[in-house]
């Protein structure tokens, strides 16, 4: 609904706070880095401006085009940027927006109620970091045009270059990222852009985003994202590979008139044991939570516990369900729109506004209560799931306590005995998680015991994606890893107590080894995610072949590398294919996989926790069909002559 009071977007709405300086000198201060992540941030900033125009009620469609030369074009059908002369700068308002830092309609001018942009610096920062940038404004039947070059310098002032129908309005920004700034390359990733635009469409129901991407060969892909159901469609998408407990979702979408905060929440339970709860403020993913998530938990606890006691699922003397009990198997997306959000930290990872807690708790609490009263059968299923989770939590408590002992005290009881390193400095200490006693024996003998520890595991560990928490903490292999790492697990993690700053997964280079590695990563992702986020998890890369001619030895880590060594030796060489780590003697294992001077390690990262969560659920969860489809779509088939 358009607010008539704010319907006129004028030159006076643009307030200048300070000049544009030092962006090219210190681009990381404004876009995080000049890597691929920073490159894509340029697109987010321009698209966010169009999203803000749509949120204000003036735009319905946003077109984003990336051509094979890496030129990005963003066009919206909003009001069009103001084109008059700005009173403070003496140049056109369009030029002011793109050349003055902190110039925009987001600083009290009344143009926007909410905004997700980078405090309004987006347009000028993108200009400063571009080889060139062009703006076209469609307004009043005229097409206004301005071009900037060489990092934000105005090529020529704003001018009219043509006419258009008066009903056609909006803004178009075209830019080419500057390779002098983005030295790692200026090629955009199709999938990264696709996933962000899909997410923005989910978070802003009714806004159409048309995305066109042209690859280097000129092949084009086009997608239109439009979700009238908003977060309900988002949760349905996140739960598509899971068995849901109820088809109707718990859903609220309401404006609190006292604070002008809009709260939209969609939530749905499934039969898994994992909680997937994501929160956003003004389209920004608040990965560290904040007061909106606190309000969510308050509503969840208050309403479901009251319903359970009112309907005799819990006796008055029974202990209330805890948050973890009520979160098990819950997929939820929390999105608020706030006129003046306050974040903790530069990354906007955590929302700090105290008033949000009560607003979310009240609005969502009424929504949950209404759902439970209107859906008694589904309410019973939700509470029965919470009861099972509560029993499992209590049973897991004792098993978890066992992991808090000193590993040296319980070493003799571990299924694979921990061979610790002598160093107590975690910054240089490493632990190799090895499959089987044979490989473990070689690793123990071949390692440098000063800083390298070895923990052999017995076969494949438990798939935590399919197990309840009590089974997980009762599993010997998992308990031994938690104990050895020393930093706790789940909500009890203290990363400062991590005993090794390199946790290296070392498995055989075969299908079983890949499966064990995946099981390990699933466990770490679900229960020790900060360890992955901190960059402490690695995968070892043992060689596949040993190629030897006389005293000359080469280790090959791929079929292609093996072929190169065969060409080097020409004739009279021997090839050994390593089927497992246990086939290597300690010296070979050291000189190929353990020696820091020559080894290759892959660091495990989480660029997008939501996408990672989806992948783990699909690959390791109960549903077979999505996994089968993934294998068919991604497998490489070979024709064998038999």
Q: Residues 302, 365: contact at Cβ < 8 Å?
A: yes
User: Tokens for 503?
Assistant: 């946790």
For the chain, how many residues are written?
A: 642
d(CA 444, CA 425): 19
Helix (H) or strand (E) holding 263: strand 261-269
Phi, psi of 35 (to 5 degrees): -85, -165
Q: What tokens appear for 334 in the block?
A: 């929390």
> Is 491 designated active site?
no
Classify the phi-psi angles of 185: left when phi > 0, otherwise alpha if psi is within -120 to 50, otherwise beta.
left
Q: Give me 383's structure tokens.
A: 């509470």
- Tell me phi and psi for residue 177, to 5 degrees: -60, 145
Assign 443 to helix, strand or coil: helix
Pairing of strands 430-435, 452-457: parallel
Strand ranges, E, within 329-451: 330-337, 343-344, 350-351, 430-435
Q: Rounded to whole angstroms, how far apart are CA atoms 231 and 361?
A: 18
Q: Which of 52, 465, 508, 613 is catalytic?
A: 508
Helices (H), 447-486: 469-474, 476-485
List 310, 374, 510, 587, catalytic entry = 510
The residue assigned the tokens 């938690």 is: 482
Instruction: Please pick, among 328, 435, 470, 477, the residue that the annotation labels catalytic.
Output: 435
- Single out the catalytic residue among 87, 374, 512, 587: 512
User: Which residues is 135 bridged to in the sheet?
Assistant: 146, 173
208-214 vs 61-66, strand pairing mode: parallel
The b-or-e profile of 179-207 (16+ CB within 10 A means b, else e) is eebbeeebebeeebbeebbbbbbbbbbeb
Is 510 labeled as catalytic in the residue annotation?
A: yes
Q: Is 318 in the active site?
A: no
What is the Cα–Cα distance from 476 to 23, expressed in whole angstroms? 53
Angstrom distance (rounded) from CA 244 to CA 467? 17
Q: How many helices (H) and strands (E) does the chain have?
A: 20, 25
DSSP string, 29-85: HHHS-SSHHHHHHHHHHHHHHHHHHHHTTS--EEEEEE-TT-EEEEEE-SS----SB
Q: In what order do the strands lie in the sheet with 250-256?
A: 250-256, 261-269, 330-337, 276-281, 284-285
Active-site positions read 435, 508, 510, 512
């Amino acid at each position: 609904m358009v607010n008539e009071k704010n319907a006129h977007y004028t030159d006076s709405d643009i307030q200048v706070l300070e000049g544009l300086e030092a962006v090219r000198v210190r681009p990381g201060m404004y876009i995080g880095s000049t890597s691929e992540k920073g490159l894509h941030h340029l697109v987010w900033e321009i698209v966010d401006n169009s999203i803000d125009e749509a949120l204000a009620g003036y735009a319905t469609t946003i077109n984003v085009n990336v051509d094979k030369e890496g030129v990005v074009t963003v066009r919206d059908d909003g009001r069009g940027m103001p084109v008059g002369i700005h009173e403070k700068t003496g140049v056109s308002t369009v030029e002011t927006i793109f050349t003055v830092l902190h110039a925009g309609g987001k600083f009290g001018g009344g143009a926007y109620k909410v905004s997700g942009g980078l405090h309004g610096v987006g347009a000028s920062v993108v200009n400063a970091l571009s080889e060139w940038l062009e703006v076209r404004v469609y307004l009043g039947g005229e097409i206004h045009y301005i071009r900037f070059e060489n990092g934000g310098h105005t090529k020529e002032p704003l001018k009219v270059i043509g006419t258009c129908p008066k009903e056609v309005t909006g803004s178009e920004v075209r830019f080419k990222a500057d390779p002098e700034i983005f030295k790692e390359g200026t090629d955009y990733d199709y999938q990264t852009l696709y996933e962000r635009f899909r997410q923005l469409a989910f978070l802003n129901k009714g806004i159409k985003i048309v995305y066109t991407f042209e690859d280097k060969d000129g092949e084009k892909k086009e997608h239109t994202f439009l979700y009238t159901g908003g977060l309900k469609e988002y949760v349905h998408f996140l739960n598509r590979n899971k068995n849901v407990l109820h088809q109707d979702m718990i859903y609220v979408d309401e404006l609190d008139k006292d604070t002008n905060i809009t709260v939209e929440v969609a939530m749905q339970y499934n039969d898994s044991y994992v909680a997937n709860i994501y929160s956003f403020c003004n389209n920004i993913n608040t990965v560290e939570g904040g007061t909106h998530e606190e309000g969510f938990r308050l509503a969840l606890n208050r309403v479901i516990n009251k319903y359970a006691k009112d309907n005799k699922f819990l006796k008055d003397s029974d202990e209330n369900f805890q948050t973890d009990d009520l979160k098990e198997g819950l997929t939820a997306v929390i999105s608020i729109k706030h006129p003046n959000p306050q974040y903790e930290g530069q990354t906007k990872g955590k929302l700090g506004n105290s008033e949000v807690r009560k607003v979310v708790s009240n609005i969502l609490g009424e929504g949950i209560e209404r759902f439970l009263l209107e859906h008694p059968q589904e309410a019973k299923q939700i509470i029965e799931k919470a009861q099972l989770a509560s029993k499992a939590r209590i049973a897991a408590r004792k098993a978890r306590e066992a992991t808090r002992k000193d590993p040296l005290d319980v070493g003799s009881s571990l299924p694979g005995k921990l061979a610790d390193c002598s160093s107590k400095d975690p910054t240089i200490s490493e632990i190799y998680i090895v499959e089987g006693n044979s490989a473990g024996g070689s690793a123990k003998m071949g390692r440098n015991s000063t800083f390298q520890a070895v923990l052999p595991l017995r076969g494949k560990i438990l798939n935590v994606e399919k197990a309840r928490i009590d089974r997980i903490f009762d599993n010997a292999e998992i308990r031994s890893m938690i104990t050895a790492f020393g930093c706790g697990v789940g909500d009890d993690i203290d990363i400062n107590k991590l005993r090794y700053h390199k946790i290296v997964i070392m498995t055989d280079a075969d299908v079983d080894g890949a499966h064990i590695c995946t099981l390990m990563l699933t466990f770490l992702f679900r229960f020790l995610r900060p360890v992955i986020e901190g960059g402490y998890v690695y995968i070892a890369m043992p060689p596949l072949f040993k190629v030897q001619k006389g005293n000359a030895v080469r280790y090959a880590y791929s079929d292609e590398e093996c072929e190169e060594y065969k060409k080097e030796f020409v004739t009279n060489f021997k090839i050994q294919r390593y089927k497992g780590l246990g086939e290597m003697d300690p010296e070979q294992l050291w000189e190929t996989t353990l020696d820091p001077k020559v080894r290759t390690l892959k660091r495990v990262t989480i660029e997008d926790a939501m996408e990672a969560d989806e992948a783990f659920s699909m690959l390791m969860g109960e549903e077979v069909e999505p996994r089968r489809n993934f294998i068919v779509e991604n497998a490489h088939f070979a024709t064998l002559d038999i």
